[in-house]
Structure 1
Amino acid sequence: MPSPHALYSVAEIRAIEQAALAALPAFTLMQRAGQAAAKRALELVGPLRHHAPILVLAGPGNNGGDALEAATHLAREGASVTVLLFADSDRQSEDSRRAHKNAKNSPLRFADPACGEQVITASRWSLIVDGLFGIGLARAISAPLRSVIEQVNNLDCKVLALDVPSGLDADTGNIVGPEGIAIRATDTVTFIGGKPGLHTGHGRDYAGHVEVADLDIGREFFVDAKAQLNRPELFSDYLRPRPHNSHKGSFGDVIVAGGAHGMSGAAILAARAAAKCGAGRVFAAFLSEPPAYDSAQPELMCRHAHDMDFASSAVTIGPGLGTSNAARDILTRALLSGAPLVIDADALNLIASSDDLRLKLRSRGHPALLTPHPLEAARLLNTSAARVQADRLAAARQLAAELNSVVLLKGSGTIVAQPGGELAINTTGNPALATAGTGDVLAGICGALLAQGWKAWPAALAGCWLHGSAADTLVAQGTGPIGLTASELIPCVRALLNRLSHKHGVDEPSNSQ
């Protein structure tokens, strides 16, 4: 069976589905989808499944057929099922007509779709099943179904979306069409394979908890996934406990270059994060006059950026760097140094404005690690942030290929892309990260990992996973999401990194007797 973490485009899912349909008896996949949906629905309803009031919304396509088949199974399991069918039976596919016939022969009730809004609000539903539209939706949902979705989104009950929440683009995570609308589901059971749009953009707000039902399609029908969900297993080879026989030189140096006048805090945040994520030594290198020391983190060595030798350290450049000529000179030196390199913030803006700097970045022997937010990515691509957000996966892939770099495109469902096109979507993080300084912390984390010998790809995967997971941990403990500050993430990231290192690592043999 394919990995539950694999992500497939709509085109890939369609190709897999068509190949499987050609090899299986008619109606098999719809039957399996209905069974999988009903199973998940019963899990959500819980022990009150018998006579539980469940509303099933079925649309005109095969997604609606899946919903009808699920409704049939639910009714036969004893649930009190009401179906609103928004379809012309003469225009249904053969499989959907068969599901419709099965539903009519089961103990469920069909309600008049013309009274859909009243049906939705008339009862206190245990669960609503969304089978209005699947991955084939190409335009914004309009009346009367728009009003139906508005009513569902106003209810306080669980909503299970089948395959993809109606109105959500499965490839991009955007709402389909200008002025579009989508079902806001608490849970989604997605068929055949995972879809990237469920995990980035609006996906995490609208899809809720996602589970994959592969419909027992044989592995031979699947293509190799070009994208996957980020998780610790992807970078576990670099996680290991530290040997007793080690010293500060064993774990590398980080130079954090930034801190122009009035922006010293950004460099300090990044440097503190690098120190607490395991770098042996951390230099905070300021464009402006450096402070004598950081009173909260006196272990940091504060220097003037012009005095630093970038060749012997990992370098995180950009936090508070500014875009002055002096900043450009420092960035040029870092690009030419050959050092493991994290490029963030104003360093990205400088590269976006200079063909020469872009060429130096692209020509490096080893990929740098870029950490743009959407506007910075837009500047690098000479486009708008809206266009970047319209297809985050494509934007990250394009940047990685054009700049020969590992790109970490920040946002809900952060995208990590390699120059060759391999891609991962991060699953950790929450709105607590939407505050000043969190990007500086992320850059510092990544710099510390590079200093300890990590390659850019696993460092990016681990950096965003740890960064987001720290925010999730703090919110679960009651700190945030409102008012969480960037510096609060750092000790939590340290704890998570230590925990993962002991869980995934292999203990070094001890010399103690």
Structure 2
Amino acid sequence: MNSTPVYTTAEIRKIESLALSILPNPPTLMEKAGLAAAEIVRARLLVGDKHRILILAGPGNNGGDALVAARYLHRWEKQVTLVFTGEAEQLSQDAKQAWEQWQFTGEMVHQDIPANGQWDAVIDGLFGIGLSETRPLTEKYQQLIHQINQLNLPVLALDIPSGLLSDSGRVPKVAVKATITATFIALKPGLLTHDGCDHCGEIIVCNLALNTVALLAPHHWLLDRASIATRLPAPRLANSHKGTYGRLGILGGASGMVGAALLAGRAALKLGAGRVYLGLLVQKDAPIVDPLQPELMLLPPSDIFDPNFLDSLVIGPGLGQEIAACIYLEQALQTNLPLVLDADALNLIAAYTELSDILKARQATTILTPHPAEAARLLNTTVDEIQCNRLNAAQILVQQFNCAIVLKGAGSICALPDGSCHFNTSGNPGLSSAGTGDVLSGFLGALLVKGFPAENALLLAVHLHGAAADVLLEQQHGPIGMTASDIIPAARDLLNRWVYSNKTHDS
């Protein structure tokens, strides 16, 4: 599996400790980090006639990294303005050495950002991964970060943008908006989810010549195009027919919400399901056929549950929460069919202990697809609590329901019963529109119905869903007005390209 590991703050600290016990003599990790940062600035931010850099060095080791970068940039004849906010006598040994080496340059050190200064770029070295809910930014640092953001200059953040929490991706107060984040040793969860998606800019991993996987086995991974290369379906055989590619049932579409079930069905067909049956709950004026996708077969909901008739089932898009929905959901949970549970199916499970207990006892494959509000209902908490630590919430959902899940949102997190989590890198704000979750459910159903393992189906569907939106973003020059219906053909085209050219990096 060609995947990039992701480590929590505690795991990074352990890797640092292990590395220090086996590393030969200098350069130290701080020296390597500062040099790597300086090289990125020289190559990416101070090009041509640009040579003026503002560097903010904080009171900890992140500040030490910034001091090392300042020394190299000064050596390379860049004009360095250094702001140091710490106390030299309180620095760690490596950071104190970096401070003393800067002192040898004879250059001035500022305590605040000089008024009316002129710079071409900024290095943010105020705080790294040490901030937490119990160690928030003081007012002084909040003001400094506001000043950095108001400069409207390219910013290189060291390790993680200051103010962003490393494990959760939450910004409790304010955080630096970076152009590039040079993250050291390995990726951290907070770079990849929640507010991190809006603050990190381009992320460059500087591993400092450490083999992190050898030092500490990872439990979390980056979900990108390279990592799904081995999860793609095989090219279709000439000697095949519609039965070869599975029979999928989709249950939902109560009165006023038929469109949700239709979107899921259309998505499943376009992603290759052989036959798709819609069991619509709508009673009055139920459609006889989908005029835009007449290949969909519309059935009474009661005809959906025969395991000899279907290979897997999606339940939830437009399901509603009436008594009939509860009855059908209970029937679905009691089958041995692989299930995708979305939308109101999740809300009903959260509302009724009986349904929750049946779900927990299921042995067959089940995938849950909650957004933060649905996750909050399932865990009997608030949306804020879910968003404060999305990784933890995803892990608790898996443990509680023994299912694979995707916690949707900026930086969707796919969590699996084996304890691993995968942070999705695809997608954009164009997915913030009605029906995109129904489309994802259809994609999941189409993959499950072809016998895909739940892990492969989940990871491929989630990444493909976002990647299709990214293709549309480029074609439409932005996310405004992107619809769920747009995602379906874009995903079909992209999946065909990936399967038949095996160029998972090419969109």
TM range (shorter): over 0.9
Partner amino acid for 1:420? D
Cα distance change, pair 302–413 in 1 and its aligned pair in 2 (3 A): same
Q: Give the match for residue 508 of structure 1.
A: none
Q: Is the 8 A contact 2:413 2:422 kept in 1?
A: yes
Equivalent position SS for 2:481: coil
Q: Give the match for residue 196 of structure 1.
A: 189
Q: Give the match for residue 160 of structure 2.
A: 164
Q: Cα distance, 1:143 vs. partner?
A: 2.9
Q: Is the 8 A contact 1:84 1:111 kept in 2?
A: yes
- Please tell me whether residue 142 in structure 1 is matched to residue 142 in structure 2: no
Q: Distance in 1 between matches of 2:388 and 2:220?
A: 18
Q: Give the match for residue 448 of structure 1.
A: 446
Partner amino acid for 2:270? K
Cα distance change, pair 117–413 in 1 and its aligned pair in 2 (3 A): farther
Q: Is the 8 A contact 2:19 2:215 kept in 1?
A: no
Q: Is the 8 A contact 2:315 2:340 kept in 1?
A: yes
Q: Give the match for residue 38 of structure 1.
A: 38
Q: Cα distance, 1:484 vs. partner?
A: 1.1
- Please tell me whether residue 103 in structure 1 is matched to residue 102 in structure 2: yes
Query: Following TM superposition, where does structure 1 have runs of at least 4 consecutive aligned residues deviating by more than 4 angstroms?
Result: 218-221
Cα distance change, pair 280–51 in 1 and its aligned pair in 2 (3 A): closer
Q: Distance in 2 between matches of 1:219 and 1:172?
A: 21
Q: Is the 8 A contact 2:2 2:226 kept in 1?
A: no
Q: Is the 8 A contact 2:46 2:120 kept in 1?
A: no
Partner amino acid for 1:327? A
Q: Give the match for residue 464 of structure 1.
A: 462
Partner amino acid for 1:224? A
Equivalent position SS for 2:108: strand
Partner amino acid for 1:487? S
Q: Give the match for residue 321 of structure 1.
A: 319
Q: Distance in 2 between matches of 1:318 and 1:297?
A: 20
Q: Give the match for residue 94 of structure 1.
A: 93
Q: Cα distance, 1:46 vs. partner?
A: 5.5
Q: Give the match for residue 416 of structure 2.
A: 418
Q: Cα distance, 1:402 vs. partner?
A: 1.1
- Please tell me whether residue 263 in structure 1 is matched to residue 261 in structure 2: no
Q: Distance in 1 between matches of 2:389 and 2:306?
A: 35
Q: Distance in 1 between matches of 2:89 and 2:365?
A: 56
Q: Distance in 2 between matches of 1:393 and 1:220?
A: 20
Q: Cα distance, 1:319 vs. partner?
A: 0.4
1:217 to 184, 206, 210: 210
Partner amino acid for 2:327? D
Partner amino acid for 2:221? Q
Q: Give the match for residue 275 of structure 2.
A: 281
Q: Distance in 1 between matches of 2:345 and 2:87?
A: 57
Q: Is the 8 A contact 1:310 1:334 kept in 2?
A: no
Using the size of structure 2 for normalisation, the TM-score is 0.94
Equivalent position SS for 1:477: helix
Using the size of structure 1 for normalisation, the TM-score is 0.93
Deviations 1:264-292 (A, max 9, x none): 01101111101101001111210114311
Partner amino acid for 1:7? V
- Please tell me whether residue 292 in structure 1 is matched to residue 292 in structure 2: no
Deviations 1:127-163 (A, max 9, x none): 2110001111242222322222101112322111101
Cα distance change, pair 391–220 in 1 and its aligned pair in 2 (3 A): closer
Partner amino acid for 1:226? H
Q: Cα distance, 1:64 vs. partner?
A: 0.3
Q: Distance in 2 between matches of 1:366 and 1:222?
A: 36
Partner amino acid for 2:42? L
Gaps of 5+ in 2: none
Q: Cα distance, 1:497 vs. partner?
A: 0.9
Q: Is the 8 A contact 1:168 1:182 kept in 2?
A: yes
Cα distance change, pair 220–427 in 1 and its aligned pair in 2 (3 A): closer
Deviations 1:170-213 (A, max 9, x none): 1110124xxx2111111111111110110001011111111111
Q: Is the 8 A contact 1:239 1:500 kept in 2?
A: no
- Trace 1:457-496 onto structure 2 (pairs within 5 A): 457-478=455-476, 480-496=478-494
Q: Is the 8 A contact 2:2 2:227 kept in 1?
A: no
Gaps of 5+ in 1: 506-513
Q: How many residues align?
A: 495
Cα distance change, pair 480–218 in 1 and its aligned pair in 2 (3 A): closer
Q: Distance in 2 between matches of 1:31 and 1:368?
A: 48
Q: Is the 8 A contact 1:165 1:188 kept in 2?
A: yes
Q: Cα distance, 1:18 vs. partner?
A: 1.5
Cα distance change, pair 3–286 in 1 and its aligned pair in 2 (3 A): closer
Deviations 1:264-323 (A, max 9, x none): 011011111011010011112101143111111111111221222341231111000011
Cα distance change, pair 275–294 in 1 and its aligned pair in 2 (3 A): same
Q: Cα distance, 1:420 vs. partner?
A: 2.5
Q: Is the 8 A contact 2:465 2:491 kept in 1?
A: yes
Q: Cα distance, 1:437 vs. partner?
A: 0.7
Identity score, percent: 44
Q: Distance in 1 between matches of 2:141 and 2:236?
A: 58
Q: Distance in 1 between matches of 2:342 and 2:27?
A: 52
Q: Cα distance, 1:479 vs. partner?
A: 5.3
Q: Is the 8 A contact 1:241 1:501 kept in 2?
A: yes
Equivalent position SS for 2:205: strand
Cα distance change, pair 192–345 in 1 and its aligned pair in 2 (3 A): same
Query: Which stretch shifts more, 459-468 or 27-36?
Result: 27-36
Q: Is the 8 A contact 1:55 1:127 kept in 2?
A: yes
Partner amino acid for 2:287? P
Query: Which stretch shifts more, 161-170 or 96-105?
Result: 96-105
Query: Which stretch shifts more, 23-32 or 7-16?
Result: 23-32
1:245 to 236, 239, 242: 239
Cα distance change, pair 88–27 in 1 and its aligned pair in 2 (3 A): farther
Q: Distance in 2 between matches of 1:370 and 1:15?
A: 33
Query: Which stretch shifts more, 138-147 or 166-175?
Result: 138-147
Cα distance change, pair 412–100 in 1 and its aligned pair in 2 (3 A): same
Q: Cα distance, 1:111 vs. partner?
A: 4.4
Query: Which stretch shifts more, 95-104 or 247-256?
Result: 95-104
Equivalent position SS for 1:144: helix
Q: Cα distance, 1:101 vs. partner?
A: 1.9
Equivalent position SS for 1:164: coil
1:129 to 123, 127, 152: 123
Q: Is the 8 A contact 1:319 1:345 kept in 2?
A: yes
Partner amino acid for 1:122? G
Q: Cα distance, 1:485 vs. partner?
A: 1.1
Deviations 1:99-135 (A, max 9, x none): 112223338x434224x252xx521x32211000111
Q: Is the 8 A contact 1:371 1:410 kept in 2?
A: yes
Q: Give the match for residue 511 of structure 1.
A: none
Partner amino acid for 2:257? M
- Please tell me whether residue 432 in structure 1 is matched to residue 421 in structure 2: no
Q: Give the match for residue 17 of structure 1.
A: 16
Q: Give the match for residue 59 of structure 2.
A: 60
Q: Cα distance, 1:82 vs. partner?
A: 1.3
